Structure 1
């Protein structure tokens, strides 16, 4: 549900603001809440500001459960559908069927809680053992109870959810009595069933129970396979990330070595340029000295000729 304030023209989507707020990690929640409340108040949305300011900071486990819902929408949707299938199946299962589905349910919850811990760790927040247990409790509650499923689906948990001791029936039944399919309206006034009719109804209940069990098993297996695929994909992604980091580190080392070599080459070039300049200066000085000597020699010869010396 979205609630938009009618003031201020285009309106203020307080639900979107609250969604953003509950995506904030608990250590930053209060500061972010005050910023968003102040922004709503400044924009003239006093009621929205009050609602934002009243938002409770989630525990780390509740935030992680919200993070799972937002980070894995498809998987979360299938998990909610699995809970619906399990709750329906538990109405008519015998002890053996309940035991089988319970084992599958524990495996799925355990795998999904580990995935939640990995998501939280990647977001910079490691879950303690207690927080991990709270996540598992929340996921069990989502499977077992429709109200808990609705709360989690809203994405704004503030504390862990507690599952019921047993799966509740989807429709109220008398204490201790097995649930029965509703009688068609035209049969309510019919006389008590005969022995054959009772056998037919029993066979029909067993058939429906088997169909529900089959659907629940398929849903559980599909969820388990999906989790395995997700874990495989995540493992592959982690391996590729490590390889990329290694390549990046090697490239950085090569760049650093190249930069050092470049710096050394620049220093060598600088010294060579200085030596070249000095050599040019010495050559210029030598050329000038040679020119002076040649001039002086010519002047000396001329002076000898002038004075009438030998060779004149």
Structure 2
């Protein structure tokens, strides 16, 4: 199992379970003799709430998400073909579909016990909007591995730096065909005058692009600050989790040390008791030996006296036998 496989497992979990599961998975990789993989797993960042909710869409509402991304491809085609009518129609459909899919994402997140705030829902919509405008951003959203939300104006590539947990898990972007091989839909032959209405639409589109560019720059600045804040919050949560695990390991080690110390003291007390008992037994043995020696002397004396008594009895019997 490689890093991408582990990441797909972790980013599919409920948000509250991510940090503990990541740390446990890194610990397991170390125990299995995979220190590099363990280090890579430990560095996987916890996703923001909005990014996690988009990942939920990629896994639990894949069909609805596909409709959004397919509509984005159609919009890009209409823009490349300078088809204002199609762009207006698709733009209206985009607003309706984005709102519906964001509602689906909030509902799916709620099924997993996470309430997505209105602010996070806006970030979800910005991310989907960016994915509609940029094929590479669409691949990032489809991956289900987002760690932060995306923003994009539609005129510049979406910044994906640090947005995907395992960038190598995304497909390589396809190179667009040369411009001369991609004639714009509805383009007039060279030398044909553009109608006035088409020029007006082009001017309106240009103004809209400028306005969108300014709004995108403002959103990007706000997004950058938000990402920094979320990263700091994630780092704090990870540090607190690491501290909690370290303190738990310390408590376990202290309990083991206390148990070993109590056992050592118990054995030492038992040894002291046995030593005192040995001293007592040695004293008893010495006393018994003294008593034995005394008894032995008394036995020898009694034996001599008994022998003397036997001889006296025999002499008396002899004298008695000699009398008439």
TM-score (norm 1): 0.50
